[in-house]
């Protein structure tokens, strides 16, 4: 069991290390990218990476507070599903109606690595190997797909 301070320190150390590892990798469009806080350019559409002592997940999350607008975004992603799965070279889980830890509704498209433990430095190479290719693939997908959402901005 880790203290709150140790959990914070290990979490920060991992994400800092991952950010440094990814820093030299250019985006699909050749730009410098903040991979940890990836900006999709669309409000309420996020690429999220999370890890704890059991699993790691990488996801596209749609957090728009208006259910109708969130549904429009979801439908647009459904149209782009073949393009997304081609870019990722794998099939992810699609969850149209989820609830976050605060009880707020959202939609997500995700995959996970389990077991994985962020708090064990021995697992860090596996976590990096899990996140890196998927984040790069999401960026490549988004370089083309973002234009399909122009009308929804």
Task: Parse the chain into domains and list their residue ranges.
Answer: 40-152
Cα separation, 150 vs 107, in Å, equals 19
Quote the DSSP letter at residue 111.
E
Predicted confidence at residue 151, as pLDDT, reads 75
pLDDT tens digit string along 123-153?
999 999 999 999 999 999 999 999 988 877 6
CA 145 to chain centre: 16
CB atoms closer than 10 angstroms to residue 5: 8
Kindly report the pTM of this predicted structure.
0.91
The per-residue pLDDT for range 12-71, each reduced to its tens digit, is 999 999 999 999 999 999 999 999 999 999 999 999 999 999 999 999 999 999 999 999
Report H helices in the chain.
4-22, 67-79, 81-88, 124-145
Q: How far is CA 82 from CA 23, 41, 92, in A?
A: 29, 22, 11
Q: Using 50, 70 and 90 to split pLDDT, how confident is the model at 81?
A: very high
Read off the pLDDT of each residue in 97-124 and give the average, rounded to a whole number: 95
């Amino acid at each position: 069991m880790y203290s709150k301070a140790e959990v914070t320190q290990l979490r920060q150390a991992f994400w800092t290390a991952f950010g440094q590892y990814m820093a030299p990798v250019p985006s699909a469009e050749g730009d410098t990218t903040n991979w940890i806080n990836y900006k999709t350019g669309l409000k309420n559409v996020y690429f999220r990476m999370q890890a704890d002592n059991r699993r790691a997940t990488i996801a596209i999350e749609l957090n728009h507070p208006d259910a109708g607008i969130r549904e429009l975004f979801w439908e647009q992603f459904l149209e782009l599903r073949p393009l997304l799965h081609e870019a990722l070279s794998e099939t992810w889980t699609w969850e149209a109606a989820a609830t976050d830890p605060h009880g707020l509704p959202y939609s997500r498209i995700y995959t996970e690595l389990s077991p994985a433990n962020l708090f064990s430095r021995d697992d860090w190479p596996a976590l990096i190997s899990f996140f890196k290719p998927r984040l790069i693939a999401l960026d490549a997908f988004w370089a083309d797909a973002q234009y399909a959402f122009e009308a929804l901005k």
